[in-house]
Amino acid sequence: MNRLRRLDAIRALVEANGGELRFPGHLLRPELQKIEYRLSRAIDTKWEVLSEKQSVLDFEKNVVVKIHDAPIGIDKLGVLSAIKDQRKMIELIDEAHAISAFTHQQKVNYICDSDESFYSPMFDFKAELESVLRNGAPGYQAVNQLSMRGQKFIFKSHHPETEHPGFGEREEEVNGEFHLNGFEKEIVNSLVISASKKASYPDAFVIEFHGELIRQNLSISIPNEPSDVLTLTPSTEKRLRKALEEYRKIGELAFSKFASDVICTVERPDRPMRTQSRMQGIGMLKERIGQPKTPREDLRNVATEKVDAIHRKMNLIKIIDIKSEIMEWKKAIDVVVSQNPGLPEKQIYETWNKILTSLSDDMAAGEPKVYEIALGRINKLYGRMLNRHSMAKIEAVYDWVGSQALKHGRNSVLDSIMQMLKKEIADIDHKSPLMSFKVAEDVLSRESVEGVVLSAVDINLGAFSRPRQAVGDNVHSKAGTRLKTGRTV
């Protein structure tokens, strides 16, 4: 749960108890100001400072109206709805366990049919639930195990957004995602409404706008970044705050510019999310192939045909996996080329096209060996290029973190981040280039690390901050924190 989702959930609890929560004002760094709340508007109660360490569940213990009593939809970012879902499922699982006469299958039916608003977008939810129940896990453990297995569920009565009518023909499916066409008007209108409500509070503005997206089952993100209706990526949130600053100067034009820079997808919580897992697909293939075509066929020939058919299907699955990895390489190469204009782009793509022409378009008739060879050539030809790019990206983050430490002083958090970055740099040549690229672009990117670093820097701004000093083994006051790798992209 990120900071804004936690704040919105606590705000919803405070308001459900008749109080209010107020956000900091105009500062560019609102997180440095104290957030305050009071549990009653009717009585002149004292404003209390909200602790940064206090979780939603801890806060719930000190109020009269609990999460399960809070009105549906009072939480804009859906945190209370998610907690209600989990608690309801825990309650149903424990009730099913308490009925000793039930078989495991009857327990599953009891849980899924007890509330007509229950829904899981995963086709194999009941099978996974039965597997968990066979272990005898109590409700809270069973819910955790379902989460670890990638299972999702909701109770529609907790989610008012499921009542949204959708966008009809404006939804276009692309690679399994439903993109919304002509969404700029919705985005700009939502931004204007959010800014007019809480124009001077950046935190409240982001929460208000994100809540409006959730209400419409919409998700926005910067191109080439993952999108999720319940979260905003750090870079998207950063652009939102910047758009608010520009809005105060130039009006709606700032929001129109923001809308033109993002992509928008539709993510209904009651839309199916997955068909079959890979192993289940193999099992279904084996089961279908295992049925004799006619009773008159020779048993030996039937057995041979079964083995050959399974072999072909297994080869097809291997080829699909390898082709998927090859496409991941293509995406990575596109990013590297776009960010490094000095690279020989024409030569890179000509070589890539030659490799692809060696692959068979008829995957069902192909052999995995051909694709394995192609993947090996790709790794050999482009691996160093990806590694150099990843090294440069992580080194740049390392330098920036080091500059913050030099500027504001060291602490254990900054030291840990520096060590993690340094270790990743040292390990790049020993890992898959594609994996190192994903780490550099996502896990340890500037956007991912920035929030943690700035929070750590804030710690050093207090009265007991430690002396400023150099950080890392390769640091001195003039050279900064550059690691001496001698690498260039």
| 434, pLDDT greater than 90 | no
Hey, how many other C-beta atoms are within 10 angstroms of the C-beta on 257? 15
Say how far residue 383 (Cα) sits from the centre of its chain.
27
Region 460-483: mean pLDDT is 44
Q: In the prediction, which pLDDT does 41 show?
A: 81
Q: In the prediction, which pLDDT does 197 show?
A: 72
Q: Model confidence over 314-347: pLDDT tens digits?
A: 777 777 778 888 888 888 898 898 888 888 888 8
Q: In the prediction, which pLDDT does 308 show?
A: 65
Highest mean pLDDT among 23-32, 70-79, 355-364: 70-79
- Between residues 111 and 272, the one the model is more confident about: 111
Per-residue HEC secondary structure of the chain comes to CCHHHHHHHHHHHHHHCCCEEECCCCCCCHHHCCCEEECCCCCCCCCEECCCCCCHHHHHCCCCCCHHHCCCCCCCCCHHHHHHHHHHHHHHHHHHHHCCCCCHHHHHHHHHHCCCCEECCECCHHHHHHHHHHCCCCHHHHHHHHHHCCCCCEEHHHCHHHHCCCCHHHEEEECCEEEECCCHHHHHHHHHHHHHHCCCCHHHHHHHHHHHHHHCCEEEECCCCCCECCECCHHHHHHHHHHHHHHHHHCHHHHHHHHHCCEEEECCCCCCCECCCHHHHHHHHHHHHCCCCCCCCCHHHHHHHHHHHHHHHHHHHHHHHHHHHHHHHHHHHHHHHHHCCCCCHHHHHHHHHHHHHCCCCCHHHCCHHHHHHHHHHHHHHHHHHHHHHHHHHHHHHHHHHHHHHHHHCCCHHHHHHHHHHHHHHHHHHHCCHHHHHHHHHHHCCHHHHHHHHHHHHHHCCCCCCCCCCCCCCCCECCCECCCCCCCCC
Highest mean pLDDT among 81-95, 169-183, 275-289: 81-95
Region 31-53: mean pLDDT is 81
Rounded to whole angstroms, the Cα distance separating 236 from 400 reads 20
Average per-residue pLDDT for the chain? 81
Q: Model confidence over 200-215: pLDDT tens digits?
A: 578 889 999 999 999 9
Q: In the prediction, which pLDDT does 405 show?
A: 83
| 28, pLDDT greater than 60 | no
| 470, pLDDT greater than 80 | no
- Between residues 450 and 487, the one the model is more confident about: 450
Hey, how many other C-beta atoms are within 10 angstroms of the C-beta on 251? 12
Q: Model confidence over 376-419: pLDDT tens digits?
A: 888 888 888 988 998 998 899 889 888 888 887 878 888 888 88
Give bridge partners of residue 177 from the DSSP assignment: 174
- Take residue 396 and report the two structure tokens written for it: 């740049």
Say how far residue 404 (Cα) sits from the centre of its chain.
27
| 16, pLDDT greater than 80 | yes
Rounded to whole angstroms, the Cα distance separating 213 from 207 reads 10
User: Cα–Cα distances in Å, from 277 out to 51, 136, 144, 173, 262?
Assistant: 43, 24, 20, 21, 31
Q: In the prediction, which pLDDT does 123 show?
A: 86
Region 54-61: mean pLDDT is 92
Confidence tier at 25 by pLDDT (50, 70, 90): low
Across 123-127, 133-137, 276-280, least confident range? 276-280
Confidence tier at 472 by pLDDT (50, 70, 90): very low
Q: In the prediction, which pLDDT does 97 show?
A: 92
Region 44-48: mean pLDDT is 79
Pick the closest to residue 272 from 124, 127, 110, 129 (CA basis): 124
Pick the closest to residue 139 from 69, 102, 85 (CA basis): 85
Q: In the prediction, which pLDDT does 463 show?
A: 39
Region 41-63: mean pLDDT is 86
Rounded to whole angstroms, the Cα distance separating 50 from 33 reads 11
Counting every residue written for the chain, the total comes to 489
User: Cα–Cα distances in Å, from 223 out to 34, 393, 411?
Assistant: 34, 19, 35
Rounded to whole angstroms, the Cα distance separating 262 from 183 reads 10
Say how far residue 484 (Cα) sits from the centre of its chain.
34
Q: Model confidence over 145-188: pLDDT tens digits?
A: 998 888 999 999 999 999 999 898 999 988 778 899 999 988 99
Say how far residue 336 (Cα) sits from the centre of its chain.
23
Q: In the prediction, which pLDDT does 360 show?
A: 53
| 484, pLDDT greater than 50 | no
Region 19-28: mean pLDDT is 72
- Take residue 444 and report the two structure tokens written for it: 């340890």
Q: In the prediction, which pLDDT does 286 show?
A: 59
| 294, pLDDT greater than 60 | no
Q: Is 247 exposed, middle or buried (0-12, 13-18, 19+ CB in 10 A)?
A: buried
Rounded to whole angstroms, the Cα distance separating 90 from 97 reads 11
Confidence tier at 306 by pLDDT (50, 70, 90): low
Q: In the prediction, which pLDDT does 82 show?
A: 94
